[in-house]
Amino acid sequence: MNAAPSFVGAWQYAPVRDPKLLPIVEKVEAGERLTFEEGLTLYHTPDYNTLMRLANRVRERKHGSKTYFVHSLRLEFTNICYVGCTFCAFAARKGEARAWDYSVEEVVDKVREKWEPGLTELHMSSGHHPNRPWSYYPQMVRALNENFPGIQVKAFTAAEIEHLSKISKKPTLEVLRELKEAGLVALPGGGAEIFAERVRKQIAKNKVKAEKWLQIHREAHSLGLRTNATMLYGHIETLEERLDHMDRLRQLQDETGGFYSFIPLAFQPDANALAFNLGKTEFTTGLDDLRNLAVARLYLDNFDHIKGYWVMISSDLVQVSLDWGVSDIDGTIIEEHIAHAAGATSPLGLSRQKMVQLIQAAGRIPVERDALYNELRVFEAPIGSGSRATN
């Protein structure tokens, strides 16, 4: 009896329908970097089956069947913001009935109120508050570490760091250094949106510029603060602009190696000016979401993880995405408000058990990690029913 075919050999049994992909298949098999033009070929190919298998090939080369998640709490300490990004439905003006603005004591109380056993990550990103003094921010980080020993505070996007630089009149590097001294352990990847200036002028003209966003992450990495990177897609950007965004991240990762993961964020078409002006009422399609994740997995060869953000693309599609290059599905996220303000229909959070079941039902091995991607627990055996997770 012949031995089972190797993965390389298996390509023969699942033909590559698009001949333009053949040289890319060879490069992926050889572990070679793809060019910009090859990235565009991946975006345009009608051969989704081969695209999926290529992305899965790289994903399994890096992580096997392991799929990572974190038990995390999401906290937005204010929604007051003066920036005015057109895609945002979260921000409020000071004095609006729906605005909130927590003191340091209230932030501590909110975390205590939502606390669950085993919680490791506190993820915070919020608005650009026009009046809070610089001292508020390191005090908040310090208070959280004092009141919740062992919690890992991952907070402040690069856009927020630039805002803190302005109000403190300190260089961004010094802002980062002082926040790290207060107990900050990592930065989320928000504020990146799309780096292309054409798009940025229309969706986030008052937010941190692309080069400054990259500089702040470069500075964070120089201090030993690891970060994540996002990309907001599905609005007015072109496929070339998506790839340009990834290309700039790939270059910085080559330079610093400081990114943990890349997180594509699907545009949410509700209650924001951009959606209204575009007449857009529909979410990104599942196929576009999966293709985007697969291209990211193949193009960002120097990133450890591509993250499927279930809050925006649903927990159902995230299960499928584990065969399209995704190796991390973020976390329990108790409880998210930014995407939900713009129309996200997912739950405000998922339990640890449901995260595990969701991953196991997709035939993968759940690994609970912390904010710094240290492995805390590997779930080799099924828990609960082991059937398809429900919300």
List, as residue ranges, the binding site for [4Fe-4S] cluster. 81, 85, 88
Q: What is the C-alpha to C-alpha distance for residues 321 and 328, in angstroms, rounded to an integer?
A: 10
| Helix or strand (DSSP H, E) at 352 | helix 352-361
- Identify which of 100, 109, 115 has the alpha carbon closest to the alpha carbon of residue 143: 109
Would you list which residues are annotated within the binding site for S-adenosyl-L-methionine? 87, 193
Positive or negative torsion for Cα 232, 233, 236, 240: positive
Q: What is the rounded distance in angstroms from the CA atom of residue 373 to the CA atom of residue 229? A: 15
- CA 206 to each of CA 170, 247, 319, 336, 375: distance values in angstroms, whole numbers, following the listed order: 20, 23, 36, 24, 39
The CB-side HSE value for 131 (13 A sphere, CA atoms) comes to: 9
Give dist(CA 14, CA 21) in Å, integer: 13
Binding residues: 81, 85, 87-88, 193
Q: Which helix (H) or strand (E) holds 242?
A: helix 239-256
Look up residue 330 and give its DSSP letter. E
Compute φ and ψ for 176, nearest 5 degrees.
Answer: -65, -40
Residue that the structure tokens 């690994």 belong to? 367
Q: How many residues does the chain have?
A: 391
Cα separation of 4 and 268, whole Å? Answer: 45
